Each structure stands twice: as structure tokens, then as C-alpha cells.
A and B are shown apart, each in its own frame.
With several copies, the nearest count.
Chain A
Amino acid sequence: MKISVLLFASAREAVGAPSVEVALPASATVSDVLREPRLAGLAGLAPSLRFALNEEFARPDAPLREGDVVALLPPVSGG
């Protein structure tokens, strides 16, 4: 299935793009997006990343569906 991956702040800078389209098997979960070669640059950041699925925080093992949007969120610093 095709999944859109949005990248912000340090994740965007590490990958060098604001978003990436990823093809994953039907049984894939949110954290499986990190298997995408173009996201290899995130290895160092991975432990501190949080995931969002369709604009809601999501657990790494949350199941994905065709067309879902996953966002990789480094530690936030708003306010």
C-alpha cells in the first residue's frame, strides 16, 4: 500500500525533504515506514521520534491502511 510520510524540523533536515511516499506491505505498522531507504538518515533520530497517524499521535505498532498519512515528529519545542 502507498503511505505518505511527513517530516518536520530535524527529521526533515536529516532526510532533506518535507515528505516521502513509501510503499509498504498490507500488514505494515506505523514504525515500518522507517524501513524506507530514503529515511535511513533518521537512524540517529529514531529513538526520540514520535509518530502521528492521520494527525493523531499513534503507537509505533498501530496498523496502517492505504493512503494513510504518517508524520515523524522530533521532540517538540513550541510555546
Chain B
Amino acid sequence: MEILLTREPLSLDAACRAVRAPGRGGVVLFLGEVRPEEKGKAVSSIEYEAYESMARKELERLAAGAERAHGAAVAVHHRLGPVPAGETSVIVAAASAHRAEAFAACREVIDRLKESAPIWKASFAEAR
């Protein structure tokens, strides 16, 4: 399991490397991207705020739960601070011997992250 909260741009390869391993034939990655428009309003960037210490614990808890439930390896990378439209705000990676478990683990973690990780976004129509 790997949890990364960073203000740097996220890396697809880094998230993938975090879960890959010889016996794990199936890897599933979810990327959340900042949409340039939300509820009809143009968005230039989204600011992500987190209760960082608790967010790390929550994400570790979610990832560990999915790893146990699905026998998968999980990584969650979330970007904090300003994220320009079109860039990636979160990556959830999951790997296991077969694809069913990797899909299930990845989906579970992103769904639960959106319910319980103490992270908030404030969208900005124009550059601040």
C-alpha cells in the first residue's frame, strides 16, 4: 500500500509502479481530472484542501480494507493545493493476480475516498 498526498503534479507511472509486482497480472488505475467546467461555470483550477494528517490515516484505512477484502495491492495519490483544469487530482491504483479483484479494489477505494477522506475542493472560475 502507498498513500501520497502531494502538491506536485501526479504521475501515472509512479502510481502504477507502486502496485505492480510479478504475480499481479491485472492492474486497474482510476484518474480523476479537473473538469474545465462545473455546473455550467468555467473552471480554471480547483484548490484542494485537506486535514492532511487525518486524510492520510483515512486513506490508509480505506486502502488496507480494500487490500484485505480483494487481495489486491492499492496506492492512492491525491494532489493538494491548486490543480489546473485538465490536470489529474487523484489516482487510485490497484493490482492483483486477476482483473476482477483489481477492478473491485480500485472502485471501492475511490468511492469511499469521496465519502470519507477529509479533503475539500474550492473551484475558481478565474486564476487567483
Contacts and interface: CB of A to CB of B under 8 A. Distances in A.
Interface stretch (A26-34, A37-45, A70-78): A70-78
Given A79-B90, A79-B110, A79-B114, A71 B119 contact: no
A57 B115 CA distance: 12
A79 B30 CA distance: 10
Interface residues of B, number: 23
24 contacts: A6-B51, A8-B118, A52-B54, A55-B54, A55-B57, A56-B57, A71-B51, A71-B118, A73-B118, A76-B118, A77-B119, A77-B120, A78-B114, A78-B117, A78-B118, A78-B119, A78-B120, A78-B121, A79-B78, A79-B89, A79-B110, A79-B114, A79-B117, A79-B119
Interface in B78-123: 78, 89-90, 110, 113-122
Interface in A30-69: 52, 55-57
Interface residues of A, number: 15
B54 A71 contact: yes
Interface of A: 6, 8-10, 52, 55-57, 71, 73-74, 76-79
B102 to A, nearest CB: 13
Contacts of B113: 78-79
Contact of B120 (A8, A52, A55): A8
